[in-house]
Structure 1
Amino acid sequence: MGAVRFGVGDLAQLRFAVSPLWETVASLRAAADPGRHAVHLPWIKQALTVREDRGELLARLAGFVPPAPRCPLSEIEEELALLAARPGPAGAPDAVLAWWRAAVRPHWPRIRAVLEADIAYRTRQLAEDGIQEVLARLHPEVRWTGDRLVSQGLPAGEARLDGTGITLVPSAFAARCRLLEGSGGTPPSLVYPARGVGTLWERHCGPGEGLARLLGRSRAGLLARTSSPATTTQLAVRTGLSPGAVSQHLAVLRDAGLVTGHRYGREVNYRATDMGLALLGDGDGDGDGRA
């Protein structure tokens, strides 16, 4: 059992981030232990056909723990460049990059959409219920007591933030919470299992014919892919449309009140509104997007 002690200044410096480096390393370890990661079996079966040398890659990552992410929306090339500049991780950047290109990058838009949906949920929870409620509900094994976050997944003893703040990092491949040490002005990070991972590898049906006739097949397809937050670039990759065409269709859907856009860092994430979800036949009826 471990704990992280927060000061008042630490609570004020809580951030969120997505780390493709962490996800790549965690996904490789998940592929090596499919029994513990049954939810990812559809992906694992495919990943192992494109890279059969996972044992060799894992050996090169023995004892390697990814550093805490330095900014909310890093690309993996940025994270690997920082990693290569650190002493010690010989061979790790090459092993990570090999697995990323073969097994993770083709699915990254889908994975990232799940992570961004989790962040959108947590930030809404932050606005409605406060920081302590966000921390207390990160995972069933996590408890918030007084000024401490307590979990069986944290290192034994008590870590003090001492004004550095902390970055919360949702993960599609993490089985439990994990604390990543900060360095060089980078605050520590708490990796936690993201919501909605059970739907990650589901085959989603396209919009119904009626909706396609009403909106046009391209716009109906875009609307269907905004049930979780997505950027223009991500939607272009998923639909095969050009970014310009996606932008034009999103403008029409936004003017009709079917999607809304929210800026997160340097990007705008588009998500279906309650009306858009109703047209898609989203069954939960509350439009809050909870997985």
Structure 2
Amino acid sequence: MIQVRLSATGLAAARFAVSPLYETMGLLMALRARRGGFDAERRRPRVGRAIDGGGLDLLASITLVHHASRHYVPDFLTPDPVAPGGSVEAELHAVATTDTSRVRAELDILTAGRRLRGDSGIVGRELPRLVSDAVQTGERDFAERVAGELDVVWRTVLAPEWPRMRARLEQDIALRGHSLAREGLAGTVGSLAPSLDLTDGVLTAASRYEVDVTADSVVFVPTAFHRPTVVVDPCPVPVRRSPVVLYPAVPATPSRGEDLAGAVGRTRARLLDELATPRSTGELAERLGLSASTVSYHLQGLLRAGLVTRVRRSRTVYYHREQSA
């Protein structure tokens, strides 16, 4: 069992966030373990094509070769989520600039393993030759190369459908927000998965590992590929990271935009769906993968129809969906 003892500060600092790289690594690990169901398996051909295209040797050696379930995958590949809605650029930058002492320490855990409480522990394994050769050029160069390979997997496999995936994950977080208001944090944690619990400030997760740590914060990350678990950093170098709770996101429900699509067109329906929260033209363009000029054109149409309003704050104009829409 994993136990995380949260102080009052830790409970107050608990937050939910979306992480593109946790999803990317979750997909790779699900494929490695041949689990994850249809969501993962239907993406296997794209992952295979990315690998066949070359340039993913380090990442494949670390994550895709089928090893025993207790073998370690370095945690620096999944940095702490830095933005509520998920920023792959920021997360890739965090991987590339990981403190070199952490890179070295985590590779040491990968090879030597790590004894935990009782009979549990991380099983070490021999470092693949190409990985050990790559490390010889320096931990910084190694981290940058792995970040580049993660970027290839991201762009090839998940980026094309990220707007839809992110919408599902953000929808889950919104539901958890309602649960927090009604049931508090303990009730919400209990609803994430049967194996998770929060009682008297102690977060527990069913696990083969025996871990007992104290933490001053915790991040909850909904995911499409990971099994429910608590990720506890085994490496205190240079500082130990906050625990991350991975839990299955609720299935996507049909967007109200799908009902609106027939009336106003799919692009404008998607805009209305996004504008439940005030957003700028630039934000909308990024979230929907459209050009700013295209977004602006459709916003003008929605303005004329009285379906959205706009307000200027400083130098930025924000649009918001009318309640009648």
Structure 2 length-normalised TM = 0.63
The aligned residue for residue 80 of structure 2 is: 69
Q: Is the 8 A contact 2:27 2:40 kept in 1?
A: no
Between the two proteins, what is the percent identity of the paired residues? 24
Corresponding pairs, count: 257
Q: TM-score, normalised by structure 1?
A: 0.69
> How far did residue 134 of structure 1 move?
1.5
Shift of 1:132: 1.5
1:83-102 correspondence runs (5 A): 83-84=95-96, 85-87=98-100, 88=103, 90=142, 91-102=145-156
* d(CA) in 2 for partners of 1:270, 1:172: 29
Structure 2's unaligned 5+ residue stretches are: 64-71, 108-141, 310-317
Superposed CA deviations along residues 83-128 of structure 1, whole A, max 9, x for unmatched, are 2232227343233122112112222212211111111111121122
Coordinate RMSD, CA, aligned: 4.1
1:78 corresponds in structure 2 to 90
| Aligned-partner SS, 2:18 | coil
Alpha-carbon distance in 1 for matches of 2:154, 2:14:
28
Q: 1:181-196 maps to which residues of 2 (within 5 A)?
A: 181=233, 184=239, 187-196=242-251
**1:194 corresponds to which letter in structure 2?**
A
- Specify the code of the residue in structure 2 equivalent to 1:232: L
**Which AA in structure 1 matches 2:296?**
G
CA 1:157 to 1:178, structure 2 compared with 1: closer, same or farther past 3 Å? closer
Contact between 2:82 and 2:91, CA under 8 Å: does it hold in 1?
no
Are the equivalent residues in 1 in contact too, given 2:224–2:248 (CA < 8 A)? Answer: yes
Alignment partner of 2:161 out of 93, 107, 121: 107
CA contact (8 A) 2:189 2:198 kept: yes
Report the alpha carbon displacement of residue 46 of structure 1 after superposing the two structures with TM.
Answer: 4.1
* Cα pair 1:153 1:176 within 8 Å, conserved: no
Alignment partners' CA distance in 2, 1:35 and 1:219? 37
Residue 82 of structure 2 aligns with an amino acid whose one-letter code is C
Instruction: Give the match's secondary structure for 1:72.
Output: coil
The answer for the alignment partner of 2:174 in structure 1 is 120
**Which protein is bigger by CA-based radius of gyration?**
2
| Partner-residue secondary structure (3-state), 1:242 | helix
Partner of 1:215: 264
Structure 2 CA distance for partners of 1:176 and 1:251, relative to 1, 3 Å: farther
Gaps spanning 5+ residues in structure 1: where?
Answer: 260-267, 277-291
Secondary structure of residue in 2 paired with 1:175: coil
Relative to structure 1, is the Cα distance of residues 130 and 116 closer, same or farther in structure 2, using a 3 angstrom cutoff? same
* Alpha-carbon distance between aligned partners in 1 of 2:192 and 2:168, rounded to the nearest angstrom: 15
